Structure 1
Amino acid sequence: MRNYLFLLLCALPGALLAQTVYSGESTIDKTKAQGLFLTVPGDGRQIEKDWENQLKSYGRLTSSRGTYRVTNADVKDVSSEPINLMSTVKTSRNQATIFVAYDLGGGNFVTTGAPGYSAAESMLKTFASQSQYNQEVRTAEGGFNDAQQTHQKSVRAGERLQRDIEQNGKEKERLLKRLDENAKQLEQLTKDVEINKTEQASALTELENRKTNVEAVKAKKP
Structure 2
Amino acid sequence: MKIAASLIGFIGLLALTTSAIAQTVYAGESTIEKTKASGLYLTVQGDGRQIEKDWENQLKTYGRVTASRGTYRVPNADIQAISPEPINLMSTVKSSRTSATIFAAFDLGSGTFVTPGSSGYSAAEQLLKTFASGSLFGQEVRTVEGSFDEAQKNHQKMAKTGERLQREIEQNAKEKERLLKRIEDNAKELEQLQKDIETNKTDQTNALTELENRKKNVEAVKAKKP
Q: TM-score range by the shorter chain?
A: over 0.9
Q: Which residue of 2 aligns with 1:41?
A: 45
What letter is aligned with 2:30? S
State the Cα deviation string for residues 144-167 of structure 1 (Å, max 9, x = none): 000000000000011001001101
1:154 to 155, 158, 162: 158
Structure 2 matches for 1:128-139, cutoff 5 A? 128-139=132-143
Alpha-carbon distance between aligned partners in 2 of 1:38 and 1:111, rounded to the nearest angstrom: 14
State the Cα deviation string for residues 84-133 of structure 1 (Å, max 9, x = none): 00000000000000000000011100001111000000110000000000
CA contact (8 A) 1:5 1:137 kept: no
Q: Which residue of 1 aligns with 2:10?
A: 7
| Structure 2: stretches of 5+ with no match in the other structure | none
Q: Which residue of 2 aligns with 1:175?
A: 179
Q: CA deviation at 1:18?
A: 3.0
Q: Which residue of 1 aligns with 2:98?
A: 94
Alpha-carbon distance between aligned partners in 1 of 2:167 and 2:66, rounded to the nearest angstrom: 58
Q: CA deviation at 1:181?
A: 1.0
> In structure 2, the residue corresponding to 1:18 is in which secondary structure?
coil
1:114 to 110, 118, 126: 118
1:53 aligned onto 2:63 = no
Q: Which residue of 2 aligns with 1:196?
A: 200
Q: Which residue of 2 aligns with 1:32?
A: 36
Alpha-carbon distance between aligned partners in 1 of 2:28 and 2:58, rounded to the nearest angstrom: 21
Q: Which residue of 1 aligns with 2:218?
A: 214
TM-score scaled by structure 1?
A: 0.96
Q: CA deviation at 1:34?
A: 0.1
CA contact (8 A) 1:87 1:101 kept: yes
TM-score scaled by structure 2?
A: 0.94
CA contact (8 A) 2:62 2:77 kept: yes
> In structure 2, the residue corresponding to 1:210 is in which secondary structure?
helix
Q: Kindly tell me the number of residue pairs found equivalent between the two proteins.
A: 222
| Structure 1: stretches of 5+ with no match in the other structure | none
Q: 1:30 to 1:81 in 2, by over 3 A?
A: same
Q: 1:5 to 1:92 in 2, by over 3 A?
A: farther
Alpha-carbon distance between aligned partners in 2 of 1:131 and 1:33, rounded to the nearest angstrom: 25
Q: CA deviation at 1:7?
A: 2.5
